Amino acid sequence: MLARLVLPLLLVLTCSFSPGLTAEDAAKKPLAEKLKKQIDVNFQRTPLKDTFAALGTATGVKFAVDGDSLKLVGYTQHMPVTMQHDDRPAIDIARLIMKPFPELRLVLNDETAVATLTTRAGAMKLTGTVITVSADANTETGASR
């Protein structure tokens, strides 16, 4: 079954749903697994925070944006993002969103079930087991703090 999700600001996501997966099973999946889901995006000058909200809608991942950390490096939650990609893993879309902003980091914390968009400095302050997705290195690294 293919569903099409239309969001404001000319944002369109397409995602498929697995009928055999219960909501409880999906909630227990690690965030990195959820972000492997293939999605289509069409962002047209969409605010940064809304792009990650859309990824959350498509994948079932709860995203938080650390606006204070962004401000400290001269970024805002409202920076416009324009891109269109079809059938790409959500984690790759996240990396592409972050690529023009080298200080951005996405920290995945399975203990809190929240993915936090923050900065390099903001990521250092987070506790627990995290995965930091760095756009400039295009890598995932695990860390426990």
- Residue that wins the pLDDT comparison between 80 and 130: 80
Q: What are the tens digits of pLDDT across the range 29-64?
A: 999 999 999 999 999 999 999 999 999 999 999 999
Give the pLDDT confidence score for residue 126 in this predicted structure: 84
- How many domains are contained in the chain? 1
- Residue that wins the pLDDT comparison between 26 and 60: 60
Q: Find all residues with CB under 8 Å of 74, minimum gap 6, and list them.
A: none
Give the pLDDT confidence score for residue 1 in this predicted structure: 40
Give the pLDDT confidence score for residue 17 in this predicted structure: 46
- Residues 107-115: contacts with CB within 8 Å, 24+ apart? 107/131, 107/132, 108/30, 108/31, 108/32, 108/35, 108/133, 109/31, 110/30, 110/31, 113/27, 113/31, 113/62, 114/62, 114/63, 114/64, 115/31, 115/35, 115/52, 115/56, 115/61, 115/62, 115/63, 115/64
The CATH number of the domain holding residue 91 is: 3.55.50.60
Residue 73 above 60 pLDDT?
yes
Q: What are the tens digits of pLDDT across the range 84-141?
A: 999 999 999 999 999 999 899 999 999 999 999 999 899 889 855 456 665 555 455 5
- Domain span at 128: 2-144
Give the pLDDT confidence score for residue 90 in this predicted structure: 96
Give the pLDDT confidence score for residue 15 in this predicted structure: 45
Adjacency order of strands within the sheet including 114-119: 62-65, 114-119, 104-109, 129-134, 139-144
